[in-house]
Amino acid sequence: MEGTPISDIFYNRFMTEEILTGARCRNCGARWVPPRPVCIACYSSNLEWIEVNGRGRLAAFTCIFIPPPSMAAQGYDRENPYCVGIVELDDGGRVDARIEGVDATNPESIKIGMPMKVKFLHRTVDEKVESYLAFEPA
Amino acid sequence: MKRRRKLGRGVAIVGAGMSKFGMFKEKDSKDLFAEAFCEMRSSVERGLDPREIDALYLGNFSNDFFTHQAHWASIIADLTGLVPKPATRTEGVCASSALAFREGVIAIASGLYDMVLVGGLEEMSKRSSEEVTEGLAMANTPYAGRVGFTLPGVFGAMATAYFARHGANREHLMNVTIKSHNNASLNPKAQLTLTIRDMMSAKSESMKKEGFTAPDWVTEKDFLRDLTVNPIVAWPMHLFDCCPISDGASAMLLVAEEMAGEFTDDPIYVAGIGQGSGRSFHRSRDLTSFEATMHAAKEAYSMSGLAPEDVQFCEVHDCFSIAEIVHVEDLGFFKPGEGYKAIADGATRLDGPKPVNTSGGLKCKGHPVGATGVSQLYEVWTQLRGKAGERQIPEGDLRVGGAHNLGAAGGTSTFIILERR
């Protein structure tokens, strides 16, 4: 991680290695998940990558029955919806993530506050692996 | 560092117009703006020579994507004969034309111009609903878009957080939907003009005609609970929780306060303008509130010297039913967690103590995103002048109304307070 620029591009790339990352400000110690290139607590740009504990709780979710074309191309539709949500991490901060291991066709079975653990989804797009942040019930 | 912000000089609205909102196969953005512009012009009682207009500010989110045509401010300047006067496009997703209004106010308040045309337009319906979903999802933050959040999805997620915190449920969202349909049925400019009751009878009749057993709906909520007529879009947002795909345009004439009498005996004044920005939904301070709206409201209240209780009625950005509940709390009309109860008690109905979305709101009036902000101000202007016809608020002495416009999932928000003196 040392020497890698702090950016969304590399945040997503570390997911291919199945690492959930954030950034810590070397100047004031503030911690940012997802990472950011400038610390907005002290405005230092001297930040370092950190690995983030992938455990948390479901803070908000939705099950999408009308997908955008990019998700429809992956086979999602009214009969096969997917769940996305916001996970509040145990060590602080929240992230957007796909929610796996739940029944998206039965949203009432999914509960706010459910303990979650990180997992990563990998998909080959134009011969390149793209990775996506996901969580599943812990 | 606390500075009190005031307009350098006052600004008045002396004319306003909007096209009918809807899905129009045979009208394009120019036709729709022409409709709004002509109504605006004819609303100026003492006449308007458009050649005297100093500048145009035009809100448009993404006709670039929807119609494959960009650079709309200059196209509209040409359409309305304003060339070579300056024309500027503003973009704040669904709040694009509230930004145009605000820029117009600032331009006059600064002394730069005396007379400014503001408005907005969007032409969405010639794209499929999947494409429109994609076009709007472009306004999500990169993190949300990447994992497959749509805009209805973000508001759906907000609803699950609100339900869990405050004990509300889907039935409370239905109160918003039923009211929107009732109000829009009284608005000739609205896209969806049937009440839920109207739709229930029409649907029952057509089923009987086709030889099916008529559904056993008794109440409007029975109808809204029926997934065959109200399917899920993004849980818990169902079809009737979502605004439609729309085409439309809006226009408004702003002048320096001291000139208002040259145009009309009944000018409406800008009492306060506020604008805020917000973070990605996952980083919101609170998943059941929009920080951008709270800031916009604070600015507008501070500038006007008014408080939430002084705003007699309000248009709020009900792109999804849950949004109306969150906004009436963020604007200070009801305490956090109390909005859904007040709505259930009828507080926001046309004949209630705090009418909200008398136009039918985005939900039923329609939501051509770039046109919406100024069309909300058009409704406030119309109500304040007592010219809203069947949907006129019965409360006799209307003096102060508000309009709240939100961009995407709260990245941009505006609150504008108008008054009749």
pLDDT in tens, A4-47: 999 999 999 999 999 999 999 999 999 999 999 999 999 999 99
Known catalytic residues of B? 94, 367
Q: Does B130 touch chain A (CB under 8 A)?
A: yes
Q: Are A39 and A67 members of one domain? A: no
Same domain, A20 and A44: yes
Q: If DSSP codes are grouped into helix, strand and coil, which group holds residue A132?
A: strand
Say whether both A66 and A107 belong to one domain.
yes
Is 90 exceeded by the pLDDT of residue A2? no
B151 lies within 8 A of chain A by CB:
no
Report the number of distinct structural domains present in chain A: 2
- Domain contains A2: no
The shortest CB-CB distance from B282 to any of A82, A86, A112 is to: A86
Say whether both A34 and A89 belong to one domain. no
Does some domain include residue A87? Answer: yes
CATH number where A75 lies: 2.40.50
Classify residue A89: in a domain, yes or no. yes
Q: How far apart (Å, rounded) are the C-alpha atoms in residues B379 and B402?
A: 10
Q: Which residues in chain A touch residue B231, judged by CB atoms under 8 angstroms apart?
A: 65, 78
Span A65-109, pLDDT tens digits? 999 888 999 999 999 999 999 999 999 999 999 999 999 999 999
Nearest of B120, B21, B127 to residue B66 by alpha carbon = B127
Distance in Å, alpha carbon of B145 to nearest chain A alpha carbon: 9
Tell whether A98 and A126 lie within a shared domain.
Answer: yes
Per-residue pLDDT of chain B (421 residues), as tens digits, is 455 678 989 999 999 999 999 999 999 999 999 999 999 999 999 999 999 999 999 999 999 999 999 999 999 999 999 999 999 999 999 999 999 999 999 999 999 999 999 999 999 999 998 889 889 988 888 899 899 999 999 999 999 999 999 999 999 999 999 999 999 999 999 999 999 999 999 999 999 999 988 889 999 999 999 999 999 999 999 999 999 999 999 999 999 999 999 999 999 999 999 999 999 999 998 999 999 999 999 999 999 999 999 999 999 999 999 999 999 999 999 999 999 999 999 999 999 999 999 999 999 999 999 999 999 999 999 999 999 999 999 987 999 999 999 999 999 999 999 999 9
- Asked whether B287 and A60 are in contact (CB, 8 A), the reply is yes
- Chain A touched by B152 (CB under 8 Å): yes
Please report residues of A whose CB lies closer than 8 A to that of B137.
68
Q: Do A34 and A95 sit in the same domain of this protein?
A: no
Question: Which tokens in the block code for residue A46?
Answer: 């001297």
Co-location of A38 and A104 in the same domain: no
d(CA B303, nearest CA chain A) in Å: 28
Q: Using N-to-C axis directions, what is the helix angle for B369-384 and B96-109, rounded to 10°?
A: 60
Q: Among A36, A51, A66, identify where a domain stops.
A: A51
Cis ω before A5 (30° cut-off from 0): no
Given an 8 Å threshold on Cβ–Cβ distance, is B149 in contact with A94?
A: no
Q: Are residues A44 and A72 in the same domain?
A: no
Residue B79: helix, strand or coil by DSSP?
Answer: helix
Of B261, B208, B249, B190, residue with least CA distance to B33: B249
Based on the fold, state whether residues A81 and A94 are members of the same structural domain. yes
| Coil, helix or strand at residue A75 | coil
Q: Do A94 and B148 touch (CB under 8 A)?
A: no
Instruction: Assess whether A41 and A80 both reside in one domain.
Output: no
pTM, two decimals, is: 0.97
B128 Cβ neighbours under 8 A, 6+ residues apart:
none
Closest CA to B235 of A16, A41, A121, A105: A105
Q: Are residues A62 and A41 in the same domain?
A: no
CB contacts, 8 Å: A41 with chain B: none
- Quick check: B244 contacting A, CB < 8 Å? no
Q: Are residues A79 and A95 in the same domain?
A: yes
Domain containing A93 equals 55-137
> Which chain B residues are within 8 Å of A85, Cβ to Cβ?
157
Give the sheet arrangement for strand B400-407, strand by strand: B87-90, B55-59, B115-123, B247-256, B11-18, B268-277, B412-419, B400-407, B313-315
Residue A28 lies in a domain: yes
Residue B346 pLDDT: 97
Q: Closest Cα partner for B255 from B16, B5, B89, B6?
A: B16
CA of A74: which chain B residue's CA is closest?
A: B148
